[in-house]
Structures are given as structure tokens and as C-alpha cells.
Amino acid sequence: MSVERSGVPALARGFLARRKRVLVRLGAWSLLESAQTFLGGYGVAMALDHGFLAGHTGTGLAWLAVAAVAVICGGAATGGVFRGLADLVEPLRDGLIRRVADRALTEAIEAPSRAADGAVVSRLTNQTELARDSFAGLVLVARSFVFTMVGVLIGLGALAPELLIVVLPPLVLGLALFLATLAPMAARQRVFLDADEALSTQLGAVAEGLRDVLAAGAGQSVAARTHALIEAEARAARVLARWAAARTVALGVAGQLPVLLLLVTAPWLLRQGLTAGALLGALTYLTQALLPALHTLMNALGAAGTRLLVVLDRLTSGSRSALPGTPVAEKGRPSTERGAPARVEIRGLTFAYGPNAQPVLRDLDLTVEPGEHLVVVGPSGIGKSTLAALIAGLLAPDRGEIRVAGRPVAPIPAEPSRRRVLIPQQAYVFTGSVRENLLYLCPDGASPAALTATAAEVGLLPLVHRLGGFDAPVDPAALSQGERQLIALGRAHLSPAPLVVLDEATCHLDPAAEDRAERAFAARPGTLIVVAHRISSAHRADRILVLDGVHAVCGTHRELLDRSPLYRDLVGRWHAERI
Amino acid sequence: MAATDRTPDGASAVPPATARLLAGAVRHSPGRTAAVFLCSAVAAGVAIVLPAVLGRTLDLLLDDADGLHGAVVLCAALIVAEIVCTALEALLGGVVTARSAAWLRRLGVDHLLSLAPHRAGEHPPGDLVTRLTGNVAEASTAPTTAAAGLAALFVPIGGLVALGVIDPWLLAVFLAGVPLLIWLLRAFARGSSESVSGYQQVQGEIATRLVEALGGARSIAAAGGSTRELGRILDPLPRLNAQGRRMWRVYGRAMAGAGILVPLLSTAVLAVGGVRLAGGHLTVGELLAASRYTALAAGLGVAVGGLDALVRSRSAARRTAELLAIPPMRHGDRALPAYGPGRLELCGVTVLRGGEPVLRGVDLVVPGGATMAVVGRSGAGKSTLAAVAGRLCDVDAGVVLLDGVPLTEIDPARLRREVGYAFERPALFGETIADGIAFGPYRPRPAGIEAAAAAAGADTFIRLLPGGYAAPRATAPLSGGELQRLGLARAFAHAGRLLVLDDATSSLDSVTELRVDRALVHDVRAGTRLLIAHRVSSAARADLVAWLEAGRVRAVGTHERLWEEEEDYRAVFVATEALGGAPGTGSTCGAIGDATRYSAGDSAREGM
């Protein structure tokens, strides 16, 4: 896990600084807990000294009743504590969910071709929940410890200030020891979690690819690598166990040593005038309040604390990038009418997917006239979709220039969708009504008549009827790929953009439906660029661009049959001769 | 080598029971496990004895009596013993857990790798991983949990007994308060499960919306409206917040109840104890001990909860044991004849899946050096035939011979050097693209890797990746067709006397497929090829076609002969297309195009 780690403390400070009032409220409610702790020891001491030992049983019971009332008040305060806790924890969870969603979306938009991140749902649900629970546990326990300590120390001081001289040194020593184990332990915990994750990843790959491991005869090397990862994980766990032992010693020093020291110094304290009740009260503080509080603190800080740190790291690492603006925010005159068909001019276009990679497109020159219908064909992986993405501004050229309607294409965030529409192979349909889905690319809305006309032209009406009309809700998961593509096509058809780019947007339609949809687009005013999935698309085009990785040839069907051997191959003028 | 193959023939094939698995983990580190038990027992004993000794010391102190020195020393010894024992318990417990987990995992992984993929495939991959990670982690805590759990159980019981020994009245007060505790805990459980399910539902809504948007990332990028999308995804967030606050309220109520109960019980015990003290039936030290024992005894609920962890450990171990109970594949140690041509023979091969025959008495011979295409409708048993041909699974009846040697008798290392596979959806391994291709029984030289990639039509796009062959495999953006070509390259790089291509070119466009087919014949080491084909063109280019129908061989012959003589044969390709039998969008269209061309000579609709 190679994430930026310094960010979490700063983020935490900022988060807490913005919630001072919540913290104060939480502290105020917690003070009742101090009072409960205080009376727990002090009441016992008084009950003994002034009651049971002095022969006034009633006074003794009265003091214990006071302590009991304090316990009940403390319980009542728990409600307030939990309200304050919710005010801290729920905003944290909201913020984490926002971050996770924002980052996942931003990353997906920046690199749409990358496979979807499968871990995002786990991050959104399991990991934010882990953070929420750990944080809440930590706040509860740390708060409880601090206010219990306050109650104990005030109580000891009230019983006899000398008690503090005896109790404080071992307590401070133990806490210091404990704090010293925190940082190294967190580091070891991270090492362990990293090792665990590496092992899980490897096991996942093996389980998924068992057939391939066997078929490739790589069982031994895979086993060796997995064993090494298992051993690394076990090693990290053993180191962690050593630190857990060190933490236990610190707990013992902080919690048990004061008891021992109190017994050793008791004769001296009694000579100083300490009463039997005060001694019992002091021992009650140490064994009944301090020891349990230390126990929970160490367990919580050890487990939940490091877990929280690691999860927060994972959830917040990576820069929070500003999201591109909405199309509605576009500058310029708002217009509901369709723009005039746009000319697309490409000059000397070169693009590679990285500095060390060979260019996918090299020195491409191409002009698509306003209103023209161009089809791009070529073998898979040759750069057709890359060209579509460049024209749509999803990618920036390394060299050269693309102009749409005379203006250069800007990288996507700045340029809104009013001028061009790109429909990719994976149709995007979201939970919402059919109408909302179809108006997605119409920033200014569209008339019901236009909506119906578009639906009729692209062949969407049967689906709309089946779903229950334009205002019926759409459950994307219940639609077939082809139905989703139809909705996306309807959306593009309805949009006022003067340039439409269809990137294999009809691949899940049957040939007849594809034909109908492409004809609807050809009839639509505007320039149309189609990255073809089937060669049949070429027959409907004004001109065809053939990409073969080295050359780009553009012309009509007839011209290309003469000029491009690849085109001849594609349309099937090659023979499947025996080879 | 008939149906006897899968009969368990040795002790190791008998499923190891859960208990035996846990016993095995204990046997893996016996001394340490015993030490953990010892430490826990000592620590528990000290926890029970210490309050009484403390009380006695307090009494001696207050009375200024003899023996104080000895009592303080005893206290010190007990306290030090408790600290040391708990620390040792933490250390040794952690080590034992780590060792058990590693042992169980090694066992599990080795077993997993010895299974026939279809047997392991009865469990989804995620389930297998859980059995080897989370389940093992839980199972391996069993020794320490048992030790700690027993001790944790003894301490409250000891506290209860000690309370009764000090004064029966105190025990009576305590026992009267316990029903209240149980009632409160029950009230909590009711409220919480209800609010949790509401919370999770809203969480699921947000996750669904996010996944939807991620699937449409390209569309969203093109529309330039991601702020709007984020708003749509996060729309249910305020409801989640409200549900969350409700959860804390419910939880807070329960905590308030649980939080006051133990202190109130303690106070009640102290009150009764105080009265008894005033009556001279109790000393101050005994009162101190009694209040501590009350707290210890109140921990009984927690201790019983700890036993629950032991039950979980056991059921986790059972899940791991189930994995180990799947019988592995057995191997022989025979070699293959040197320089064999790669003649593949299937004699009376029957394969059952879920009791139903997938292949029924298949007899088939692929002559050495020949290319045979296997065609048939979806569900005809083509992929099973491919799996049987290179022993990715065993047959239920019959025998498969490679150059005359039954596959089950061949030394597995030699078999895998001679038989290669490429799949429709290959799983790749290794850090880089080059590692992914080199993955196999041996690592080919870089030139060999690049030649194999070139033959598979992968060289071009690999060079377009940032870093080329050294590009990290896991993050490289690969389409289905590119993945297939890497899988082909992996098979080509290790080509032996038999290559099985199980629909391994389905996502390639027709031009690339043709190039790969040519390279397979001309550039890859010569040998026998068995290809599962959906497209007419692939069948047409093969020397022989085996036509499967419902698990039987319907006919074997050249494509031309079958095409001309058998009307049903032509229908196979149309049916495949109609059923969507050829996955990958390109292939379906390819099949149409090919079929039309062959039947009508129409050249118009070639797949892209």
C-alpha cells in the first residue's frame, strides 16, 4: 500500500477544529461521568468512616445512596453523550462517503477505458462503516478514560493529597510506556494489513485462475509465491504479538503497580492520619475505576485506533480533484434551437497512451463537412475509439489540432456538451424516469412532441410503452444491453448538439434495429461520425475512414474498394482459403 | 484407468474432520499451545485469589497485625505474576495463532492447486478466498480463544463463589440483580437490528447509484456533467445520516442501561456489606474483596460471549475443512515418448456433471500434427471435450491417450510442458505483461515472448501500452480481445505437442483471427491443435471438424464435406449466433457474416 500517510492527522485536526461546540457539549455530558467516578470512591470512604465503622449505619447507607444517585445520573447522561457522538461520527461518515464517491467518479471519468474498480463498493460500505465504528469506539473510550481519570484524581486528592504522591508516578510511567508503544504498533499493524491484503489478492487471483494455473503447468511457482506471502503475513503477525505483549506490560504497570505501591506505603499513610475508609476508597478507585478504564482504553486504542488510521488512509488518499462543471454552467447564449451542423477539422493529429508508448494515431488529417455522415472502420484495437474520444475532447492530442465548428476542442472539464455528443459502447442509463434519462443531454429541456418524435425515429417507442410511458421509472439493471443502448441513442438524437459521435453505440442492437437507428441519425440535421461495429454501417455513410494502424484512408465505398486492401478484407472480398 | 480414478484410495483422500483440523493446528505448535493454556490458567487463578489477599492485607494493615510483611510480599508476587502471565499469554497466543493460520493456509493453497478446476469451481472464487483468509484467521484463534475463554469463564464463577464464601447475603443481593441485566440486554438487541437494516438499505441505494455511474463513466465524461452525477449518487445521504443517528440513539439507551447496572449492583452489595460490617460480621478488607468480586462476577455475560467466539472458530474451521475434503487429482509418473507427434485419442469418454452426462462415450482421434476444429451448438459439450483433452478434468469413464499414454499416468510436470491451453477468458498472472505471457512451467527467453505475442497478434497493442512489455499487467487497460490475445501468446510461448484453443479467438475481429490462425500454423511450434470454434471460418480452415451434438460425436470430416452433405451442420452456426453462443460482441456478427458468405456467396456483411 503506497499511499500518502501524512494527510490523516491534518485532516483529523481540521475535522475536529470545525466541531468545537460538539466537543464542548460532549465534554459537558461526560463531566457527569467524572462525578459518578468521584462519588464511587469518596462515597464509600465516607460511608465507612462516618457510617458503618462509626456505628451510624443510616449515615453509611445515605452516603451509598448518594453514590447510587450519581450512577443513575451518569446513566442518564449517556443519552447526551451519544447525541454528541452522533454529531461527530455521522458527519465523518457523510464526508467519507462523499470523498469515496467523488474520487471513484473522478477516476472513472479521467480514465474511462480502465476496468471499473471492483473495490469501490467495499470502500463505500464496509470501509466507511469500519471507520465509523472505530471512530465512535475511540471517541467513547478515550472520552470515558479522560473523565474517569479526572474523577479518580480529584477523589484521591479529596481523600488525602498524599495518595496522589503514591499513585501518580506508576500511573504516569505506565501511560508513558503505553503511549510509546502506540506509534510502533500502528506501523506494525500497517505492515500486517499490507501483508494480509497482498495475500488475499494472490489467493483471489489463484482462485479465479485455477484452470489457467493448471493448464499452464505453473502450479509449483504459484504455490511457492503464495507460501512466501503466507510466511510474510505470519511474520508480521508474530511481530504484532510481541508489541501486544509490551502493551500488556504497560497496562500492568499503569493499573496494578499503584495498588502495590499503596499497600507498601499504607503504614506510612496511616501514620499520616489516613482513615480506614479513605484507604478503602483509594483502593476502590484503583481497582474498580482506573483498572477497567485502562483496560478498555488500551484495547480500543490498540485495535480500533490503528484500524481507523489505516482505513482513513485508504479512504482519503489521493487528491480530491475538482469535478468538471455541469453543462448548464456553460457560457454563451442559451439556445433551444439546434445549432447549424458543425465542420470537424483534424490537422496533424498524433496521440499515444503514454510517453513510452507508440502512437495510436500519427499525423492524421481529416475534414468532415457540415452535415456529413462519416463511418470509421478498422480492426479492433486500432484506435477508432481513441479517435472518437479525441474528437469529443475526452483525450487531449499530443500533437496537432482538432476544430469543431471552427473552435478548437478543449479538454473535457472546461468544454460542456452543447457542441458535440459522444455515445460510447457502454450505454449509461441511471435510476430515474425515462424522461430524465432522455433529457440528459438537453440542458434546456425539450418539448413532449420532440421527445415522442425522437423515440419514434430511433425505435424506442415499444420500450417506452413497455416501461409504462416517459414518466415511468427505469431500473437500469432490469434492461438488456440493447435496450440501454436504445435509450442512450434516443438521448443523443434528442440533443441539440450539431455534432454526434457514435462509438460502437449500436453493437448490442440486432442488424435491423441498428439500421433503423443509424437512418434516424442520418436524417437528423447535424454532422454524424459513426465508429462502426458492423461493416454494414459503411454502406449508409457518405464517406468511410479506414484505419489500419499505419495509414488512414478516407473515401466512398467504391473508392475504397479500389484503394484500400484492408477495406476489401473487411467487406469480405478475401477468401477463407485453407492455410 | 476407468471410473476408479476418483475413488479415494488413501488416508489423505478422506476428508479431514473439523476437529482433526484443529487438532492438527495444535500439533503444529504443541509446546506454545500448552504454554498459552498455562499462562491463562495462572492469570485467571491470580485474578480470583488477588482480591481476597488484598482484603486480608488491608485488614492486617488496619489492625497493624503480624504477618503484614508476608502479605504485602504475597500481593506483590501475585500482581507481578498476573502482569507476566497476561503479557506471555498475549505474546504466545499471537504466535500460536499466526503459526496455525500459516499452517492452515499452506495446507489449503496446496490442496486448492491439486484440485480439478471444475471441482474447485463448485465454490465461487470469492468463497474460496474467504475460506482461506477470513475463515482461517478465525479458525486459527481457536487454541488461544479456548484458553482465554476457559479462563474468562472461571474468573466470574470464582468471583461468584468467593462472594458467597465471604457472606451469603452478598451473593443473594447479586443474584437478585442479574435478571435485570438479562432483560436490559434483550431490549437492546430488539431495537438495534431494526435500525441497522434500515441503515444498510440506504447504504445499498448509494452504492447502486455509484456503480451505475461508474459503468457510464465514458458517457458522463462526454456529457461533462459529473457534479450533477455526484449529486444524484449522494441524494440519499441525508436519509443515511438520519438512520445513523437513530442507531446511535438506540445504542445509547442500551449503553445507559448496561452502564449503570454493574455500578448499582456494586453499590447494593456495598450497602448490605456495610450493614453486615456494622454488625461485626464482616471486615473492611472483606468488604473491599466483595466489591471486587461483584465486578468479576458481573463479567459472566461477557465470558459467555467469549465462548461464542469459540463456536465461531469451530464453524470457520469447518468451512476450511470442507475445502480440504474435496478430493484432489491423482497423477502418475510416466514420461511421454520422445518426439511423439501429439496424437490425441479419446476412447469411450464419458463425463458427468451433476449426475448428467455432458460427454457420452466419445471416441475421437486427432492425428499427430493435425488441426481439428470442434463445433456444435451451445451445450453440446465442446468445452468439456477441450478440458478432457489436456486433463483439466478427469473422465468418469473411458480413457484419453496422448501419443499412446493415458493422461492420468503421465507425470504432471511433463504433461504440462507438452499440452498448452488458450481460453476465451484467460486469467493472467505476473507483474508485467511479459510475465503474464511467460507464466508457465518455464520462462521463455524475451525473444520467445515477443515472437509468441506477435503470433497472437498482441505485439502491436502491447507496444502501444505505456512501458510496452514491462507495463504493469494489473492496471493495463485491456479489452476482452486484447486479453484473449495475451492468453494466446502465453500458450504459444510454451507450445508443446498439443495446443487446445477453447474459443480463444471469439473476441477477435475476423481479420485478426485470420492472422492468428495463419501464425498458429506457420510461426508456432508445429504440433496437434484442437480448437473449439463458433465461426464457420475457423472450421473451414481446420484439417478436420468434429461435430458434437448432445455430448456425442455426430460426425468427423472436412468442413467442405460436412457443409455440403449435412444440412443440420450448417444450422449449427446459425444456431450458435442466435443463441448468443459466441460471447463477445464482435464474434456474433462474425458468425453471421461468415455463414452468409459461405451459404450465399454474399460478401456484404463481414463482422468487424
The answer to whether position B492 is within a domain reads: yes
Comparing alpha-carbon positions, the chain B residue that sits nearest to A568 is B603
- Using CB atoms, pick whichever of A57, A117, A488 lies closest to residue B219: A488
Is B423 in Cβ contact with A237 (below 8 Å)?
no
**Which one of B283, B308, B330 terminates a domain?**
B330
pLDDT at A572: 59
Closest by CA to A375, choosing from A498, A568, A495, A553, is A553
Q: Which residues pair with B607 in a beta bridge?
A: A534
Closest by CA to B466, choosing from B478, B457, B454, is B478
- In this structure, how many other beta carbons lie within 10 angstroms of the beta carbon of residue A186? 18
**Phi first, then psi: what are they for A475, rounded to 5°?**
-105, 105
To which residue does cell 447496572 refer?
A: B261
pLDDT at A355: 67
The answer to whether position B82 is within a domain reads: yes
Tell me: pLDDT of A440 over 90: no
Mark whether B304 and B433 lie in a shared domain: no
Chain A residues whose CB is inside 8 A of the B49 CB are: none
Chain B residues whose CB is inside 8 A of the A108 CB are: 213-214, 217, 220
Cα Rg, chain A, nearest whole Å: 36
Mark whether B513 and B447 lie in a shared domain: yes
Tell me: pLDDT of B592 over 60: no
Chain B residues whose CB is inside 8 A of the A484 CB are: none
Q: Which of residues 229-288 of B touch A (CB under 8 A)?
A: 229-230, 232-234, 237, 240-241, 244-245, 248-249, 251-253, 255-257, 259-260, 263-264, 266-268, 270-271, 274-275, 277-278, 284, 287-288
Strand order across the beta sheet in which B552-557 lies? B419-423, B498-502, B528-532, B371-375, B544-549, B552-557
* Chain A interface mutation, best of B144, B218, B372, highest count of A Cβ atoms under 10 Å: B218
* Chain B interface mutation, best of A71, A214, A238, highest count of B Cβ atoms under 10 Å: A214
Is B209 in Cβ contact with A211 (below 8 Å)?
no
Confidence of residue A573 (pLDDT cuts 50, 70, 90): very low
Is A569 in Cβ contact with B511 (below 8 Å)?
yes
Tell me: pLDDT of B3 over 70: no
Which CATH number is A339-570 given? 3.40.50.300
Strand order across the beta sheet in which A407-408 lies? A361-368, A344-351, A399-404, A407-408
Comparing alpha-carbon positions, the chain A residue that sits nearest to B218 is A112
> Does ipTM top 0.90?
no
Confidence of residue A513 (pLDDT cuts 50, 70, 90): confident
Tell me: pLDDT of B119 over 80: yes
Give dist(CA A59, CA B554) in Å, integer: 102
Quote the crossing angle between the two packed helices A306-316 and A7-17, to the nearest 10°.
Answer: 100
Mark whether B69 and B158 lie in a shared domain: yes
The CATH number assigned to the domain holding B451 equals 3.40.50.300
Quick one: average pLDDT of B531-552? 86
Tell me: pLDDT of A247 over 70: yes
Mark whether B504 and B584 lie in a shared domain: yes
- Using CB atoms, pick whichever of B106, B114, B267 lies closest to residue A227: B106
- In this structure, how many other beta carbons lie within 10 angstroms of the beta carbon of residue B66? 9
Mark whether B317 and B424 lie in a shared domain: no
For residues B113-137, one letter each, b for 16 or more C-beta atoms within 10 angstroms of the residue's C-beta and e for the rest, the string is: bbbbbbbbeebebeebbbbbbebbb
Comparing alpha-carbon positions, the chain A residue that sits nearest to B393 is A211
Mark whether B482 and B378 lie in a shared domain: yes
Of the listed ranges A265-279, A353-367, B239-253, B427-441, the least confidently predicted one is A353-367
Please name the residue ranges forming H helices in B279-372: 284-298, 300-325
- Using CB atoms, pick whichever of A79, A94, A115 lies closest to residue B252: A79
**H or E segment at B13?**
none
Question: Could you read off the pLDDT of A338-382 as tens digits, one per residue?
Answer: 567 788 999 988 888 776 667 788 888 999 999 899 999 877 667
Confidence of residue B57 (pLDDT cuts 50, 70, 90): very high
The C-alpha of A397 sits at a distance from chain B's nearest C-alpha, in angstroms, of: 15
Is B117 in Cβ contact with A211 (below 8 Å)?
yes
Contact A281, A47 (CB under 8 A): no
pLDDT at A126: 75
Give dist(CA A376, CA A389) in Å, integer: 13
* Chain A interface mutation, best of B78, B106, B109, B384, highest count of A Cβ atoms under 10 Å: B109
| Domain chopping of chain A, boundaries | 1-159, 161-273, 339-570
Give dist(CA B264, CA B267) in Å, integer: 5
Integer CA distances (angstroms), B381 to B351, B353, B419, in order: 9, 11, 20
Mark whether B530 and B415 lie in a shared domain: yes
Is B392 in Cβ contact with A226 (below 8 Å)?
no
Quick one: average pLDDT of B100-112? 93
The CATH number assigned to the domain holding B317 equals 1.20.1560.10
Chain B residues whose CB is inside 8 A of the A44 CB are: 270, 291
Handedness of CA A293, A299, A304, A310 (dihedral sign): positive
The C-alpha of B427 sits at a distance from chain A's nearest C-alpha, in angstroms, of: 5
pLDDT at B602: 31
**Phi first, then psi: what are they for A221, rounded to 5°?**
-70, -35
Mean pLDDT across chain A: 83
Q: Which residues pair with A367 in a beta bridge?
A: A345
The answer to whether position B211 is within a domain reads: no
Contact A531, A503 (CB under 8 A): yes
pLDDT at A331: 37
Strand order across the beta sheet in which A543-547 lies? A420-423, A499-503, A527-531, A373-377, A543-547, A552-555
The C-alpha of A73 sits at a distance from chain B's nearest C-alpha, in angstroms, of: 9
Integer CA distances (angstroms), A371 to A365, A368, A497, A498, in order: 19, 8, 12, 8
Quick one: average pLDDT of B390-407? 92
Quick one: average pLDDT of A24-42? 90
Closest by CA to B382, choosing from B160, B547, B589, B207, is B547
A555 CB contacts (<8 Å, ≥6 apart)? A543, A544, A563, A564
Strand order across the beta sheet in which B344-353 lies? B356-366, B344-353, B397-402, B405-406
Q: Which amino acid is at B36?
A: V
Is A98 in Cβ contact with B234 (below 8 Å)?
yes
Mark whether B314 and B387 lie in a shared domain: no
| Domain ranges, residue B140 | 15-167+299-330
Question: Could you read off the pLDDT of A556-568 as tens digits, one per residue?
Answer: 888 888 888 778 7
Q: Which amino acid is at B295?
A: A
Contact B500, B419 (CB under 8 A): yes
Mark whether B323 and B443 lie in a shared domain: no
**Phi first, then psi: what are they for A349, rounded to 5°?**
-75, 125
Comparing alpha-carbon positions, the chain B residue that sits nearest to A415 is B224
Confidence of residue A73 (pLDDT cuts 50, 70, 90): confident
DSSP state of B422: E
Question: Could you read off the pLDDT of A215-235 as tens digits, one per residue?
Answer: 988 899 999 999 999 999 999
Chain B residues whose CB is inside 8 A of the A109 CB are: 217, 220-221, 226
Tell me: pLDDT of B577 over 60: no
Chain A residues whose CB is inside 8 A of the B268 CB are: 68
Handedness of CA B380, B382, B387, B389 (dihedral sign): positive
DSSP of A162-212, one letter per residue?
A: HHHHHHHHHHHHHHHHHHHHHHHHHHHHHHHHHHHHHHHHHHHHHHHTHHH
Report the alpha-carbon angle A361-A365-A366, nearest 5: 110
- Distance between start and end Cα atoms, chain B: 46
Residue pairs spanning A and B at CB distance below 8 A: 510
pLDDT at B508: 76
**Phi first, then psi: what are they for A497, rounded to 5°?**
-60, 140
Q: Percentage of residues in chain A with pLDDT exceeding 70? A: 88
Comparing alpha-carbon positions, the chain A residue that sits nearest to B516 is A579
Confidence of residue B447 (pLDDT cuts 50, 70, 90): very high
The answer to whether position B197 is within a domain reads: no
CA atoms within 13 A on the CB side of A156: 23
The answer to whether position B226 is within a domain reads: no
Confidence of residue A316 (pLDDT cuts 50, 70, 90): confident
To which residue does cell 447564449 refer?
A: A333
Q: Which residues pair with A500 in a beta bridge?
A: A421, A528
Which own/partner pairs from A17-25 qualify as long-range (CB within 8 Å, at least 24 positions apart)?
A: A19/A87, A19/A88, A19/A91, A22/A84, A22/A87, A22/A88, A23/A84, A23/A88, A25/A80, A25/A83, A25/A84, A25/A87
The answer to whether position B499 is within a domain reads: yes
Closest by CA to A537, choosing from A428, A427, A384, A417, is A384
Is B295 in Cβ contact with A571 (below 8 Å)?
no
Q: Which of residues 56-115 of B touch A (CB under 8 A)?
A: 57-58, 61-62, 64, 68, 72, 75-76, 79, 82-83, 86-95, 97-99, 101-102, 105-106, 109-110, 112-115
Comparing alpha-carbon positions, the chain A residue that sits nearest to B329 is A214
Tally of domains within chain B:
2
- Using CB atoms, pick whichever of B101, B232, B521 lies closest to residue A234: B101
Give dist(CA A343, CA A526) in Å, integer: 9
Q: Which cell numbers hold the place of A98?
A: 462523499
- Using CB atoms, pick whichever of A64, A105, A425 lies closest to residue B274: A64
Q: Which residues pair with B499 in a beta bridge?
A: B420, B529
Comparing alpha-carbon positions, the chain B residue that sits nearest to A215 is B421
Is A71 in Cβ contact with B264 (below 8 Å)?
yes
Q: Which cell numbers hold the place of B148?
A: 482465554
To which residue does cell 483471427 refer?
A: B513
β-strand A543-547 against A373-377: which pairing, if any?
Answer: parallel
Give dist(CA B244, CA B237) in Å, integer: 10
Of the listed ranges A377-386, A479-488, B180-189, B478-487, the least confidently predicted one is B180-189
- In this structure, how many other beta carbons lie within 10 angstroms of the beta carbon of residue B70? 11
The answer to whether position B271 is within a domain reads: no
The C-alpha of B521 sits at a distance from chain A's nearest C-alpha, in angstroms, of: 7
Quick one: average pLDDT of A415-428? 75
CA atoms within 13 A on the CB side of A36: 29
Q: Quick check: helix, strand or coil at residue B388?
A: helix
The answer to whether position B222 is within a domain reads: no
pLDDT at B587: 32
Q: Which cell numbers hold the place of B553?
A: 460425436
Comparing alpha-carbon positions, the chain B residue that sits nearest to A566 is B511
Integer CA distances (angstroms), A62 to A68, A182, A491, B260, in order: 10, 44, 79, 19
Q: Which cell numbers hold the place of A347?
A: 490537422
Question: Could you read off the pLDDT of A150-182 as tens digits, one per residue?
Answer: 999 999 999 999 999 999 999 999 999 988 988
- B475 touching A, CB under 8 A? yes
Contact A546, A567 (CB under 8 A): yes
Confidence of residue A325 (pLDDT cuts 50, 70, 90): very low
Handedness of CA A60, A61, A65, A71 (dihedral sign): positive
Mark whether B316 and B374 lie in a shared domain: no
- Using CB atoms, pick whichever of A101, A112, A212 lies closest to residue B423: A212
Question: Could you read off the pLDDT of B300-350 as tens digits, one per residue?
Answer: 777 776 677 777 788 888 888 888 888 898 888 998 888 888 899 999 999
For residues A499-537, one letter each, b for 16 or more C-beta atoms within 10 angstroms of the residue's C-beta and e for the rest, the string is: bbbbbbbbbbbeeebbbebbebbeebebbbbbbbbbbbb
Q: Which cell numbers hold the place of A226?
A: 503464495
Tell me: pLDDT of A512 over 90: no
